[in-house]
Structure 1
Amino acid sequence: MYKLYGSIKSRAFRVLWMLEEIGESFEFINASPHHPDVLALNASGKVPVLLDGDAVITDSTAIVTYLADKHGQFTHPAGTIKRAQQDAMTQLVLDEFDSLLWTAARHSFILPQDKRVPEVKESLKWEFERNLERLGQRLSGPFLQGDSFTIADIIATHCLNWALVANFPVSDKGMRAYAKDMREREGFKRAFAHLQE
């Protein structure tokens, strides 16, 4: 059984969703960043942390990639063009959406007060909306890669939900509809139910 440490309001949600999608049993330990249990496993104190037996895996993208590869679900085989395109899409989402949201969060409540530059958030929002419009133009099916639901969809949907909570503009109608459809997946609903625990 897997053990997942993290908060549902963090990137750990991506891993919760993945675990629910693949149908593997797991124990979820609701732990915030820098919790002593997390620090014992990850010196940075960051979540999520996944235990697979005695092996410790950190970083949400690394974890969902590992789970997808191990269980042969929601990914394309390594060494194929489809996998290269999937990896490119995953990196695009991390570079053009996750990084902007994370920078805004850092300048809102994470960095020490004297290190924050709140004014940067307006440019981050502008860049986010521009990037979202470009991604919306590429959307050619129900998922980011057409007919295949992959880990890129998990990360993208998490970013879109994060954007809504952080008051980032999500005005592209196609991407809003895409995110709504992703939230209707049973795996997403089961993962979200952990919020009530």
Structure 2
Amino acid sequence: MSITLYHHPFSRAAGILWMLEEVGVDYELRWVDMQAGEQKAPEIVALNPMGKLPVLVDGEAVVTEAAAIGLYLGDRYGYGTLAPKVDDPARATYLRWSLFAPSVIEPGSMAKMAGWQYKPGSAGWGTPEEMLSAIEAAIGDRQFLLGDRFSMADTIFGGTVRYMLRFGLLEKRPAFMAYAERLSARPASQRAEARNVAVMKEHGIQPPG
């Protein structure tokens, strides 16, 4: 078993479980007690200087940042299926919305929640309404971001949308809610959720929210 995920169910590592279940590879979880500050331990900082989760180790490869991990797993273990090939035009849409999640949805939602004052033309995430309209355009009336074809982009973009909806950080538009429900119905998503819950029980912690 070469893949190790440094994990805590209250971190973005929780969503990486879904990615791993989708690609169907063997992996092990390395518990990191965030309440005790173990994410700042020398072992973790040596892998990720930010001292944050998730950290995924696959043999000699070390990957951090949730979107990067999703793209890595797609190319490494689902190339041509969960990740469009480089000569497939769908690759453009795949990359576009995968990177939209961390570069627009996350900071845009944080800016709105915190009441940041900024010039929309100077911020990559624009205005909250532009962000919401872009999310809605990405989903449209399609099953997934690539139409009827599920991809790792849905774990990155869709995982972010679903998390934001769960904690009231995103407007609950019908298209968003329906998309999140489709993602939650996937067997891999349900297996990941069950494993996160099992880790919580094992370590005596309560689920958030």
Query: What TM-score, normalized by structure 2, do the two folds share?
Result: 0.75
The question of whether the paired residues in 2 share the 8 Å contact of 1:101 and 1:162 is answered with no
Structure 1 Cα separation of the partners of residues 110 and 60 of structure 2: 30
Report how far residue 120 of structure 1 moved: 2.6
The offset of 1:132, in angstroms, is 2.6
Query: RMSD of the TM alignment (CA)?
Result: 2.6
State the match for 1:42 in structure 2. 48
**Matched letter for residue 132 of structure 1:** L
Q: How many residues align?
A: 182
Give the secondary structure class of the aligned counterpart of 1:51. Answer: strand
1:56 paired to 2:52: no
Counterpart secondary structure, 1:120: coil
Q: CA deviation at 1:98?
A: 2.2
Identity rate, percent: 29
Question: Aligned to 1:56, what secondary structure does the other structure show?
Answer: strand
1:119 paired to 2:115? yes
- 1:141 and 1:27 mapped to 2: Cα distance? 34
Provide Cα deviations, 1:31-72, integer angstroms capped at 9, x if missing partner: 234244422322221211111113222221111111111112
Give deviations 1:90-119, integer Å, cap 9, x for gaps: 2223332122345578xxxxxxxxxxxx43
**Cα displacement string for residues 11-32 of structure 1 (whole angstroms, at most 9, x for unaligned residues):** 2233211111111110012323
CA–CA distance in structure 1, aligned partners of residues 190 and 130 of structure 2? 29
Does the CA contact (< 8 Å) of 2:4 and 2:27 recur in 1? yes
1:19 corresponding residue in structure 2: 20
Q: How does 1:120-139 map onto structure 2 within 5 Å? A: 120=116, 127-128=127-128, 130-138=130-138, 139=140
| Large movers: runs of 4+ above 6 Å | none
Query: What CA distance in whole angstroms lies between the structure 1 residues aligned with 2:112 and 2:27?
Result: 32
- The more displaced of 159-168 and 20-29 is 159-168
Contact 2:55 2:63 in 1 (8 A): yes
Determine the C-alpha separation between the residues in 2 that align with 1:34 and 1:146.
Answer: 41
Equivalent residue, structure 1, for 2:168:
167
Greater shift, 165-174 or 145-154, is seen at 165-174
Q: Secondary structure at the match of 1:4?
A: strand
SS of residue in 1 equivalent to 2:159: helix
Q: Please tell me whether the aligned partners of residues 129 and 170 of structure 1 are also in contact (alpha carbons under 8 angstroms).
A: no
After superposition, the Cα gap between the structure-2 partners of 1:127 and 1:183, relative to the gap in structure 1 and judged at 3 Å, is farther
Encode CA deviations 1:112-144: one digit per residue, 9 max, x unaligned.
Answer: xxxxxx4339x9xx9445523442244232101
1:100 pairs with 94, 105, 108, which one?
A: 108
Superposition deviation, residue 169 in structure 1: 3.3
User: Bigger shift: 28-37 or 81-90?
Assistant: 28-37
User: Is 2:66 the partner of 1:70?
Assistant: no
Q: Secondary structure at the match of 2:83?
A: coil
Q: Secondary structure at the match of 2:163?
A: helix
